[in-house]
Chain A
Amino acid sequence: MKHFISRRVLLVLLAIALIASPLMAQGQKEDESSVTTLRFLQWWATEGRVEESLEGLIAEFEAENPEYEVELVSLPFGETKTQIVTNHAAGTIADVVGLNPPWTREFYDLGILEPLDDYMANDPNFNKSDYFGASMAPINGKTYLAPYNTLSFFLYYNVDMFEAAGLDAPESWDDIIMAAKKLTDINKNKYGFSLSMSESAAGNGSILSLYPLLYAANGRTLVDGRYSVQTDEMVAAMNLLRTMSENGSIMPGTTTKTEPMVYEEFSLGNIGMMISNDGHVATLAQSAPDLNYGIMPIPTIDGSGKAELRHHGWDMGMPAKGKNKDGAWKFISFLHQKDNMERAGLEMMKNPSMYGIDAPEGASEKIVEVKGYFEEYAMVEELMEMPSASACWTELTKAGMQIVDGSKTVDEALAECQKAWDRILGQ
């Protein structure tokens, strides 16, 4: 009997503990409820130095705004885009998201983004005219991106390989063809040029190589209100790739290699030239500090006139289904304060999207050089406003693949791509 009673007592105590623990937790929760967690989903912090910089800025934001704490959610670039869409559908989207300009129109069409105009207008610290215009282009009259870091696509060239071959930096596309041929030595696994035309990557071939070439030639895809690939400049860009491919100057594997693989080969000194964004200045500083390379705007077709740069950005946006929009804007606004942008630019080795910020003291020579190009050259961003952009650029990548591997002529491949664009865009 004694034993039975002790079991009963034990059960009662257990029941009390079970009932009391959620109540105690509730009390604890009430104490903590004054702190709101803001989730910031982005791909930026997958780069070590950027993560450190963001964590420092977040700590300062939390100290200034004790009512908020920021959770940094970092995913690979392609995965970030997928997660934003799925989280939007599931209603679990973060409060602030990192955005890449080509995603904007697609996210707008899916109703993912909140217009930022009112937040910007009501914030005394935020002035639209302080920022490079490329990311601020409105969609149906409204702004959806807060520009943070600006990047562009450039021609990277291996200075040691160029000097060994007695070559100067290319000034026209003929120079690129000639240099690529001269730098290629298959037996030593050295190639003049490399690019990615893989369909498997989130950001694939055409946006990495073809669009930068198109804009260098002052071309556009939106011509007279219609998206077109059958333009003289696009034909010239494809012919450039075709000629280098026929000369054997492009490293094999174009149709399977992803951007990181091309970058890896360049950092190993196996490639004479590649087209990539200036974000790789920071990664090369870490992974290949001894690589002697140059970075320059892609020349125009014949070397005359002024090339334009394909804009690329690390921007920020606010989801329409976000639960803490005021807090989210407070955080965006904090990161956009001039001193914070200056500091982040130096720590992240990126150029902030703000006018009037000089390349910071201590910044690498390449960052200073790139900053100069941003001021000198116009930046173009068409994909930001293009509906179904990723489906369209994937079709352009397919055209590029067929041209590089010689299975279709430039005219045939572009005609097929145009047909696909017309179908996708309903134009």
Chain B
Amino acid sequence: MSAPVAPFPQVEHQRAVFADGLALDCGAAIRPLAVAWRGYGRLNAARSNAVLVCHALTGDQYVAETHPVTGRPGWWETIIGPGKPLDTDRYFVLCANVLGGCMGSTGPREEMTDAEGRGLGRPWGTDFPSITIRDMVRAQKRLTDHLGITRLLGVVGGSMGGMQVLEWAATYPEAVFAAAPIATAAHHSAQNIAFHEVGRAAIHADPDWKGGRYWEDGRVPAQGLSVARMVAHITYLSEQALTRKFGRRLRGASALTFLEDVFEVESYLRHQGSTFVRRFDANSYLTITRAMDYFDLAAEHGGDLANAFRGTATRFFVASFSSDWLFPTRESRALVRALNAAAANVSFVEFATDKGHDAFLLEEPEFHRALGGFLAGCADRLGV
């Protein structure tokens, strides 16, 4: 489908390195641990105005600035900035590349290390240990500790970012004043795991993947990773949104010729796939999708989701979108009911939209107003 791709040039990412490493849920440990991160706004003297943004599967820490690798705007610039819902005049907004990611944090693309932290002169690749959402959160906690932030004003994130928000609130309740899990769920559903497996199978089936050792000859499994992205992208949109954007329109033709016709939706997906492979690492994709599949917050707490939040003082704002079929409203509602059962302080809105799962990243004024008001109310309470 595509010729060998030219990856974007590597850039230096700002990172915090922890020499003592991190013990993982799987029993392995990695050392050192590197956490690449970006901050916007100013941390106040009391260090009480920090809002941590957790990114989704293929996001990264460049949340509110032009991306140094792709040159594109930050993925959540719509809501982060002066005067915006995550107001950088008031809050210190930070975002870290997840553990297992490929934008500077420890992950399959970084140099493999031994138990003493010595570099082995090759990337981790598929030797990178299995990680969990909780491991990602522990890595972020190391960063906030390092910055001297004992309690975050807010932790905000959508999709896999929302899973991290929930894990933060469950694992470090005293460190989270307000939590906003958006378009997410307390576990990954069978259907979601199934879609991920299609993506992983596409990568595995690409001869350039070479059992994960594609880095040996400087190639990337572009076809497989691109197909994985195309499948995933369909799950991020709703049928209505696809119809509205593309319908049955053909590219460069007004009627079917039965020759080389390409529907606009096909060309859009191919574009999504081919740009993705330039910036994302296939082994990272395998590692992170697995972490999402493993996520089951209730199972971590004896099978009862309410146990994850028993006695919590954290204030929650749960948001879902009506046309999101990847993380449907019923998952958010189940979460809200568990929070109610735990007598937690929780707000919840299902926003009406036809934009599907992606709505959390797009222009949704009602959602932005609610999120901004929720955070501002919490900040008022804390005197920030």
Q: Tell me if chain B binds chain A.
A: no
B residues near A (Cβ < 8 Å) are none
Chain A residues at the B interface, C-beta cutoff of 8 Å: none
